[in-house]
Structure 1
Amino acid sequence: MLRNSLLLWPAALLVGALGLNGCNSAGGNFAKTKSGIEYKVFDKSGKARDIKPETAEADYKKRLGQIIALHVEYRTAKDSVLFQSRKQQMGFPVRVPLQDVARKGGLEEAISLLQAGDSAVFRFNADTLSMKTTGQAAPPNIKKHGNTMTLFVKVAAIEDQATAMANQQKDQQAAMAKMQQHAEKQKPVDEKTIQEYVQKNNLQGQKTASGLYYVVTQPGTGAKPTQGQVVSVNYRGTLLNGKEFDSSAKGNGGKPIEFPIGVGAVIPGWDEGIALLSKGSKATLLIPSGLAYGQRGAGNDIPADAVLRFDVELVDVKAAPAPQPGMGMMPGGGAPAGR
C-alpha cells in the first residue's frame, strides 16, 4: 500500500464507466474462444466485429513489437468496479507491449484480439484469470462477489515504440502538471482538515514546511536515518474517520516493513516523516494528500484527496546496501514515479 509502483501489465490490472462504443454493458450474447474467454468486440463505428481465431492470430503477429494504448475497467460478477484506468491514470491510457501470447485464456490472449479503435467486453473465470496472472487463486474479496470477472476495454491507439514513448512522455508531463495544479488548490483544504483534527484530538506536535504534521509519542535513543539507509517500521494507517486501511501487523505478516529512506520507495510523507525520527521512536504522522496519494487515491480504501494518519515505530536503521558491481545509482535513487 505504501510503496510507489508503476502500473504493470498484467498483474496490477487484476487488483483492481468507460465510454465504450456499443459495449457499455456486459449483458447479451458472448462469443467464446477455445481457451474459455467470453468476449464481445466492437469496431470504431460501434458495430459488432466477428472474429475468426485463425485470422485474428495472423493479424496479431503483424502487430508484435508495437504498443497498444488502452483504457480498462475491471468489474466483479456483481458489477462492482475493482479498477478503472481512467481514474488511476488521470484520463490517460495504459500502454502495453504486444508480445507473443505465452498463455491462452488470460489477458494476453484477450488483448491479442483487438485492433485500433476497438471496444470490447471480456468475461473470465476469476480463478483461471488469477492463476494465469499471479499463479494463485482469486483473492476472497473478488470471489465473494462470484467467480467471474468482466474486463471492459477501449483501444485508444496501437503505436510503434518510438511514437508510444513520445506520447507517454507527453502524457506524464500533462499528468504531472494536472497533479501540481490540483495539489496547490488542495493544500489549504488539507491544512484546515489537519488543524481541525489536531484540535479535536488534542494533539501536541509540529508542522513541517511541506504541511506534514507529526507528534513524537515516545522518543527514541538512536540516530536518525539518513538517505539510502534501510529502515524497519511498524505502522498502522487510518483515514481521519478512524477506518484502518493498512498495517504491518496485518499486511506484512506482523513484521516491520523495510525500505530505503529518502529515495522515493514510499510515499513522500513517509520519506519525510520517518527521517525526522530517531531509532526507537514512536510517532503519529498526519500526512496531507499531496504527500500521500493525491487526487488519484489508492484502491477502494483511500479516496481521492485523503489526509492520512499513520501511527509508526522506527524499529531499526541499517546501513545502506553496497552497490552491486556494474550497478550505479540512478539520479534520484532510480525510484519509479507514481504510486
Structure 2
Amino acid sequence: MKKAILFVAAAVALTTSACQNFKKGDGGLEYKIVDDKASEKAVAGDLLSVDMTIKTDRDSLLNSTYDLGLPQIVNIAPDSIPGLYPGDYNSMFKLLGEGDSAVFKLNVDTMAARTGQPKLEFADHYVTFTIKVRKHFKRGQLTDSALYAQVNKYFEGEIEKLKTGEDVKVADYVKTKKLEPKKTASGLQYIVTAEGKGEKPAIGDTVVVNYTGTLLATGKVFDTNNPELAKKNNIFNAQRPYEPIRFSIGNDPVIQGWTEGIQLLNKGSKATLIIPSKLGYAERGGGGMIPPYAPLVFEVELVDIVKGKGLAAPQLAPQAAPGIAPQAAPQVAPAK
C-alpha cells in the first residue's frame, strides 16, 4: 500500500511542479519535462512502459495506471500512419526515454480538426497526461517476436511483484486503518461494524446484500449497488439496477471471499471484509479494474435471508466460478 501511495504522490508532485513554464509544441501541444534522464528517446517501433494519469481540464480523472498497480505499454507508431499528426498522442512519447517524466497538454481542438472526428465532449481545451517512463524497449534490429518476448518477460516480473507484495499491502492496510479484524483459516479478515440480531445464513439460503467494493491498495471504488456512490466515483452505469444483490450461497457463483464472509454475519449486520486475492480474482484480475493478485475490501450489509433447501445439483466449486467482472450487471455477484 505504501508503494501505491508513493506512486500517486509522485504523480501529484509531477503535476504540481509542472503547472507553469510549459513549452509550446506542434499542433497546440504543451509540455513540461520534469525529469530528463534518458540519453536515448523513443523512436518509431520502440515501446515504453509508463505510469500515467490522464485528466481533463475540468479536473476529471479519466484513467490512471496507479489504480491497477501495473504500467501501460505504449507502442511508438511511425508518423506515416494515417490519422497521426505533429502534436498528437504519439508525438508526446517521442520526447521521452527510460527514467524520464513529463506533463503534456494535448489540444482537443487540434485533435478534432486534424482527425476529422468530433471534439471530445469531456474536455474544453485540452487533456493532461502525467507520465513517468519505467522502461524503454528499443526495437533496433529486433524482430517482433524478440521484442515482445522482452515485454512479456518484463510483465511477468511486474505481476510477480504484485503477488509477493500482497501480504505486505494487507498488513499495512490493517495497521494504517488501526483495525482489529478477526481472521479465518482461509485468510479472510473481517470486522463486524454493526451487529445484527437475526440468524446467520447457511449453504442454500438466498441472501440480500448491500455492498461497496474497493481496491485495498488505492481505495478506489470499483463496484457498488449505491447509485450515488457510483456517480461520485465515476462508475455509474445507467443500464444496471442499483438495488441490493441477491444470491444463493453455494449455488450462485460468487467469489469465495463472499461465500465464506457472508455466512459469518447475522441478518442485519454490517461488516468490512478484507479479501485476499486467492479468495477473490486471483491471478486473473477482473473487468479491467481489478489487477492480478489484488486484495479487496468490501463494506457489506446483510439485509435479508431467504431460507433455501441446501445445494442444487451439480454444485459449483468456488474456484470454478469466482464471480463476474465488475461493470456488468449486477456487478459483483452472482454471475448469470
TM-score (norm 2): 0.49
